[in-house]
Structure 1
Amino acid sequence: MSAPCQGPTMAQDQPCRSRTRSQRTGDAAERLVADRLEAAGWTILGRNLRLSREELDLVAVDPGPPGALVLIEVRSRGTREFGLPEETFDHRKRRHLWTAAMRLLEVGQLPGGMAVPRLPIRVDLVVVEPPARPGSQPRIRHHRDALAI
């Protein structure tokens, strides 16, 4: 049986209920990506932010020149059996991310009242694949400016 949802990765307005294996895989991938980005000097401003009907997996500040407010979509697969995680990043998901980005700029603040930083904005796609063999690390690919892909 699935463990109940808990922790900071849940969307703020999402009711607590059992998580599917696919959702738990996605939650773990989002935590892994956030940890890796923070270790690289990024600042995570929010996780699983709901903006109207859209959701942003991560909102972060990329410190590298020129610096940017980055909306991050995390995609993962438990296995390669059904293809690469990038293959799930279709036109519909891109449109949802564009809508979420525009909504975030329109609102001007993150949940909790923090103002949206005045930085260039971009959308990145980060994919997480399971380890190639037991004991190895998951593979992570970071596609910057994913709406331009």
Structure 2
Amino acid sequence: MPDPARPVRRRTTPAQVAGDAAEDRASTYLMELGWQILARNVHVGRFEIDIVAIDPGPPRQLVVSEVRWRSRRDFGLAEETIDHRKRSRIRRAAYALLQLGRLPDGSELPRLPLRFDLIVLEPAGRLRHHRHAL
């Protein structure tokens, strides 16, 4: 069954397909923790947010999550791909979304404290969740 929080889009390259699979796995993981996924692949201007969710806490928080994956370890850890420019883009996208006050489907964005997380998937399928990472 398609995820209603995920927009339908065509992904054609192997990297895009793998990235989508990583975001699917991250979303499933968060839902298993009891989180509510509000939206995925949210575009705000020229920026994108991978996952917008509510962590039921305590404390209850609005969480913007960046999902990273690596097909091989030869190129280093996925965490190392988040430089200050990428952090800045994620933060600007989140703050722009907060100013809009609405999600792409038109629903109201909950007024909750904001947190930035990083979810990393490794080649062997292991997942690491870094809270307050960005």
Unaligned runs of 5+ in 2: none
Q: C-alpha deviations, 1:86-142, integer Å up to 9, x for none?
A: 0101111101011001101110000111111011001100000011xxxxxx11111
In the TM superposition, residue 146 of structure 1 has moved relative to its aligned partner by 1.4
Q: Normalising by structure 2, what TM-score?
A: 0.92
Kindly name which structure, 1 or 2, has the bigger radius of gyration based on alpha carbons: 1
Q: Which structure is higher in RCO with an 8 Å CA cutoff and minimum separation 6?
A: 2
Q: Normalising by structure 1, what TM-score?
A: 0.83
Residue among 19, 29, 33 paired with 1:26: 19
Say what the alpha-carbon RMSD is for the aligned residues. Answer: 1.7
Within-5 A mapping of 1:62-77:
62-77=55-70
CA distance in 1, matches of 2:84, 2:23: 21
Aligned to 1:50: 43
Aligned to 1:145: 132
Q: C-alpha deviations, 1:46-86, integer Å up to 9, x for none?
A: 01010110000000000111110000000001111111100
CA distance in 1, matches of 2:100, 2:133: 23
Unaligned runs of 5+ in 1: 1-6, 132-137
For structure 1, which segment, 19-28 or 93-102, has the greater mean C-alpha deviation from structure 2 after superposition? 19-28
On the 8 A contact 2:6/2:39 being kept in 1, the answer is: no
Stretches of 4+ aligned residues off by more than 6 angstroms:
none
